[in-house]
Structure 1
């Protein structure tokens, strides 16, 4: 109960108690009609027993003294309540996803469709850690796969990546750009403690600051070369590979970034540079 509510509860009680006290005093000192003095006989009158001032004695007591009532109305201030413990951070998948939806200008359906629903923080830590190590973790992806299939076309006896394959990733880039950079960094910092704890569980260097891992992963992607289109590929009956050995020798994250196409890759890199600058600035403060 708040102090104001407590006062509202106690004040009526004090008013009632004050009224009761006044009534009790009136009953004790105010004579009833049966006790009204009768004119005494002269021979038995005792001067010291005369009470000519009796009405004056009781008149002031018909109402409580103003000062007394004011004192009755006063209530000792209640001690300040102990500050309550802050609510624990909600690190559940719905809470994390809601945080991302809140800072995105994209349609909620797009965010819900593209971002997975299970293990978001865990997947984020594993994905970033693998990117920093030049590796991919397909089973730990943060995003749902594109609905369309990878497509190539044949020309002059060679196979080339179809531009339609690049368009599969445009909604993902649109969503990435829909996040306000400062707000995205704020969400990251909100969950940083839990992220750091998860990183410590899987890393050989548990005391390493996860920010450095994140920056290393960003740098890996920023180092991906930009190549002219069309891009020639070939298949070894298992998967498509880049015909250019320089591209095929890139690490897996970089080759994956190449598959988004030149325009999408430029947009992704621009966003990564902005986030990198914010993370570095935030860490230097």
Structure 2
């Protein structure tokens, strides 16, 4: 028997015992009629008469049957509340941003400012899926682009990436580091079911666990080589390209990570390693 059901079973007995105690206390402490004060009557002196003694007779009254207390009806336990359906998870952009703001240690409005305002959950799934496939999804960016433009400088007849170009990404890395790792994983797990459903809609392998896709995307970025600065580039009138063919032959996500600069890239990789360890530990439980 559970503690709750045991308490419910004892409730009627407690009530009966309580009633009996109250009655006993009333009988003991309530003044009886024999103890009530009576005003004395005037004394009347009667002449003494000799009366023959008669044997003293004690009247025996039948003992009344014991009064049985009527048991109270057992107190019916309150009905259990009807189970209610949990409210559906709010997967709107404001709700997701609010969840991220709550776990960020940044005091500014960087989360609102840097994240896009349309289809965050869908964009996250598409972006991770493309990263795992060594691709970029320009139309599904999660972050608003930096306001500063890409800059190069010329020296000895060659073009090199200006260090100012790397600093454009520092606020984004600061935001990433402002998230507590365990809290970030909790937010991810909160939306995991919806993430999995969206992945099933766009993937050729809908039954694949999205955690595996996420770990593949992380590994792709962790495989990005670290290169010394300055980095030489050239332009083909359309876009800047790396002069080193080894760098130019990297996949698009890795080349984008290189553009954040060596210091930012090391910080991003450190965060990704921490998250990868947590995701793997969470999946093994």
TM-score of the superposed pair, with normalisation by structure 1: 0.74
SS at match of 1:241: strand
Partners of 1:108 and 1:96 in 2: CA distance: 17
Listed one character per residue, the Cα deviations across residues 172-230 of structure 1 (whole Å, up to 9, x for unaligned) are: 00000000000000000010000000000000000000000000000000000000000
CA distance in 1, matches of 2:206, 2:103: 30
Contact map agreement 1:127 1:140 (CA 8 A) in 2: yes
Superposed displacement of residue 139, structure 1:
1.0
Q: What is the count of residue pairs matched by the alignment?
A: 217
Cα deviation, residue 75, structure 1: 5.8
- 1:191 corresponds to: 191
Q: Secondary structure of the equivalent of 1:188?
A: helix
- 2:129 is aligned to 129
CA distance in structure 2 between the aligned counterparts of 1:219 and 1:77, rounded to whole angstroms: 58
Question: 1:32 — aligned with what?
Answer: none
Task: Please say if 1:223 is aligned against 2:223.
Answer: yes
In structure 2, the residue matched to 1:256 is 256
SS of structure 1 residue aligned to 2:159? strand
| Residue correspondence of structure 1 range 150-189 to structure 2 within 5 A | 150-189=150-189
Following superposition of structure 1 onto structure 2, how do residues 60-99 of structure 1 map, counting pairs within 5 Å? 76-99=76-99
Structure-2 residue corresponding to 1:284: 284
Residue 242 of structure 1 corresponds to 242
Report if the CA contact (8 A) 1:104-1:180 is conserved. Answer: yes
Q: Show CA shifts across 1:5-31 (max 9, x none).
A: xxxxxxxxxxxxxxxxxxxxxxxxxxx
Distance 1:121 1:186 in 2: 15
Query: Deviation at 1:80?
Result: 1.4
Match of 1:148 in 2: 148
Aligned to 2:214: 214
User: Which SS does the other structure have where 1:153 is aligned?
Assistant: strand
Tell me the distance in 1 between the aligned counterparts of 2:78 and 2:162: 75
Provide the C-alpha distance between the structure 1 equivalents of 2:275 and 2:78, rounded to a whole number of angstroms: 50
Partner of 2:113: 113
Cα distance in structure 2, aligned partners of 1:204 and 1:83: 38
User: What is the CA-CA distance between 1:83 and the residue it aligns to?
Assistant: 2.2
Superposition TM-score, scaled by structure 2 size: 0.74
Query: Following TM superposition, by how much is the alpha carbon of 1:86 offset from its aligned partner in structure 2, in angstroms?
Result: 1.4
State the alpha-carbon separation in 2 of the partners of residues 107 and 114 from structure 1: 14
Tell me how far apart the structure 2 counterparts of residues 160 and 128 of structure 1 sit (CA, whole Å). 30
C-alpha distance in structure 2 between counterparts of 1:250 and 1:233, whole Å? 14
Mapped to 2, the partners of 1:104 and 1:189 lie a distance apart of 17
Unpaired runs of 5+ residues, structure 2, are: 1-68
Contact 1:101 1:108 in 2 (8 A): no
- What's the CA shift for 1:71? 5.5
Structure 1: runs of 5+ lacking an equivalent: 1-66
User: Residue deviations 1:39-68, cap 9 Å, x none?
Assistant: xxxxxxxxxxxxxxxxxxxxxxxxxxxx89
Inter-partner Cα distance in structure 2 for 1:224 and 1:77: 66
